[in-house]
Structure 1
């Protein structure tokens, strides 16, 4: 199985991120206190700029921006988990996955803020969104690719942003978090190398469940000596369950605030979200439970 180097993403709060050419002031040149300079609060609190006079729009903007920051943090943790799995550092991978589940919990809870929007409030400022839609979030799409929900056609919307398109195209071709877990099973002699390679052969497509992978997880759960691999399986399932919770909360929030109207970005809105709630991440970890 090909295992390209995992690069840790640059986050908005990454002190090593390059600022050249952005016109932004350096942390040392702004902020009244060391805390404000460290957290770049002088910049942060200028980013919420409602385009309407509807009071609820500010909540919508803040929640969206918080979600985007958390997307970046979650990608950071999942990338660290991938790196640890490739280095056979199971404790490191489990620690990153555990931190990631806490990020996911906060993400899922953030829907509570949008749950306060009534249809009348959302409709009042919805026109200022134009064609903007959460479906266009490159950070979220990267997370979808990391858990195996890949689709080449989704890159089309980024044709006008070469750097983003290139990064997502690389993520589309690269192994997923689950691929790296299965590669570890192969190195531990639980899954045949040929089966792992067949998974890689799917390349840029959506992950499809395989009987051999389900059997491998069955072996893990029923082998008394495979305790640490069971811990990995449960950590992955914790991650997968939270992905499903996110999709369910997204569906419920949209249904509550706008019903079955088409999405702002031209998506089918509610119908698409409902279908997404039925797609399990890391599917064999779910189906194997019926055999145990």
Structure 2
């Protein structure tokens, strides 16, 4: 059979083009002596950090789920701390960007439960004995996030007391003004009548809702054009707590799906403890004001 001259010409052109691309990109294919993608991300350390203790196939899922969650929480803390500093120094546009990013990170953490929920009760039971007393309850990053969001509880310092370096970090978060505390101080600087009991107080104490604070936020929400940046701040807080509530709910349903009502490995009541956490309101007046509008 005779060959088709058109196809031969097209094939030759395609081959020549491919060779030109390889030639032009050759410099980018040789990383000898230069920093590579893996070097920059320290992938050798990162991808060798998964060390299953059980012989069960499904433990890899459990480890990766929690390690990636800790990475996202590291970013959350990075953004939350900077947002609090921005609000304290009246740099609201910068704070808005960071708070929006934290809310998007929370969405990633919510969807991560969908992956862990593919682990069935027998699969988890096969690896549970190898976890010993380790538990997400002991996550110091999560505890710092809770404290930064205003959920202060002195008892939650104890799980980190065995590590002096981490304990100091958690203690600092416990003693610092929360995100909401700094927002209320901002409202007061803007001339809104926030009670002094909520702008200068012992930051270690749990936040208590106050009618005066609700009235200050109502002033903002009843005239959003005049108080536009404060109004936007209120909605950023709403988005953030909304995402946080979804995360807590998915945590609860995933735990109940996988272990039922067994106690948690860290000693908590498991599902019963997580259900109590669903009732925690971080920014109460941001929600209660909506009934009054």
- Deviation of 1:159 (Å): 2.0
The 5 Å alignment of 1:179-190 reads 179-190=181-192
Select the structure that is richer in helix: 2
Question: d(CA) in 2 for partners of 1:163 and 1:144?
Answer: 19
TM-score by length of 1: 0.86
The number of residues matched between the two structures is 261
C-alpha distance 135-32 of structure 1, shift in aligned 2 (>3 A): farther
Displacement of 1:160? 1.6
- RMSD, aligned CA: 1.6
Superposed CA offset, 1:186-210 (max 9, x none): 111113361433xx42431221111
User: 1:76 aligned to 78, 83, 86, which one?
Assistant: 78
Contact 1:31 1:41 in 2 (8 A): no
Gaps of 5+ in 2: 1-31
Asked whether the equivalents of residues 195 and 212 of structure 2 are also in contact (C-alpha less than 8 Å), the reply is: no
Larger radius of gyration: 2
- CA distance in 2 between counterparts of 1:203 and 1:102 reads 27
Q: Which residue of 2 aligns with 1:210?
A: 210
**Structure 1 residues without counterparts, runs of 5 or longer:** 1-29
Residues 1:238 and 2:239 aligned together = yes
8 Å contact from structure 1 (residues 195, 212) kept in 2 = no
Question: Contact conserved, 2:151 with 2:207, CA < 8 A, in 1?
Answer: yes
The answer as to whether partners of 1:136 and 1:157 remain within 8 angstroms in 2 is: yes
Structure-2 separation of matches of 1:207 and 1:189: 22
What does the per-residue CA deviation read over 1:119-150, in whole Å, with 9 as the maximum and x for residues that have no partner? 11101110000000100000000000001111
Question: Structure 2 length normalisation: TM-score?
Answer: 0.86
Deviation of 1:218 after TM superposition, in Å, equals 0.7
Taking the aligned partners of 1:53 and 1:172, their CA distance within structure 2 comes to 39
- Distance in 2 (CA, whole Å) between partners of 1:125 and 1:100 is 32
Secondary structure of the 1:132 match is: coil
